[in-house]
Amino acid sequence: MLTKTINILLLFVLATLACAQNRDSVTGCIAGNVTMEFKPALLSGKEVRYYVWNKVRGVNKDPSFAKFEPRFSPQLEIYFNEEHQVQNRIFHIPEKPATLYLTDLRKSDQENYTLIISYFDYIGVPTEYIIDLQVQDVCFEKPKAVGKCAVSTCYTGENGVLKVLKTPSSTVQAVKGYKQVKVCDDKTSGSYSCCNTAGTCLVQVFQESM
């Protein structure tokens, strides 16, 4: 009885550990790029038949949206493009079969992506790996020093604005997706606000030779 309880407990601990290892979280900025590196624990000695990526589309709807079948084609196949709108924004290289590169991120890309791997000559539980992709709708990192300049990028998506507060004047610039800010002299030093359409702003102070 005691052995059984311990066994069950052990199984539970192992399952929890396995779960902890087969998921990851990736954060990207709107209009920016992200690398989703799935790290499944492959079955040794088995050749992969295909890699399929799932993304929930609602109940009773086929969740698969991309497939890579190495023996069949070097290209990633995309399904339900009308719905996902990832064509021309998603990249894949055969050398890194489990990695997806997503560009020009949209808020609607924020989802859980599950990679499911199927093998030749194997009928059993397929290997899975989940990436929880979070898309921030405004990003403005602390400026980095590059030579004597201070550099950062303001990400807002479409119709964002960059407000530059500098006494005695202030200016407003349009941001189409994202805009790099580079401050190399005293004239352009100041406080910059990166704002999205919803009016959410992030402020950074830029000074030359930081």
Ligand X SMILES: *[C@@H]1O[C@H](CO)[C@@H](O)[C@H](O)[C@H]1NC(C)=O
Q: Figure out which of the listed residues 132, 158, 185, 186 binds ligand X, where binding follows CB under 6 A.
A: 132
Q: Which long-range contacts (CB under 8 A, 24 or more apart) does 173-180 make?
A: 177/31, 177/104, 178/29, 178/31, 178/32, 178/153, 178/154, 179/153, 179/154, 180/151, 180/152, 180/153, 180/154
Kindly state the smallest distance separating residue 25's Cβ from ligand X, in Å.
Answer: 8
Q: Which is nearer to ligand X, 132 or 158 (CB)?
A: 132
Q: List, in sequence order, the alpha helices (H) in 22-114.
A: 81-84
Could you tell me the two tokens for 7? Answer: 């066994």
Q: Which is nearer to ligand X, 32 or 40 (CB)?
A: 32
Q: By C-alpha distance, which of 120, 28, 16 is closest to 8?
A: 16
Kindly state the smallest distance separating residue 12's Cβ from ligand X, in Å.
Answer: 19
Q: Does 192 bind ligand X (CB under 6 A)?
A: no
Q: Does 33 bind ligand X (CB under 6 A)?
A: yes
Q: Does 158 bind ligand X (CB under 6 A)?
A: no
Q: Which is nearer to ligand X, 48 or 66 (CB)?
A: 66
Q: Which is nearer to ligand X, 33 or 119 (CB)?
A: 33
Which residues are CB-neighbours of 163 under 8 A, at least 6 positions away?
A: 170, 171, 172, 173, 192, 193, 195, 201
Kindly state the smallest distance separating residue 125's Cβ from ligand X, in Å.
Answer: 20
Cis before residue 97, ω within 30 degrees of 0?
no
Residues 94-123 close enough to bind ligand X by CB under 6 A: 103, 110-112
- Residues of this chain that interact with ligand X (CB under 6 A) are 32-33, 103, 110-112, 132, 134, 178
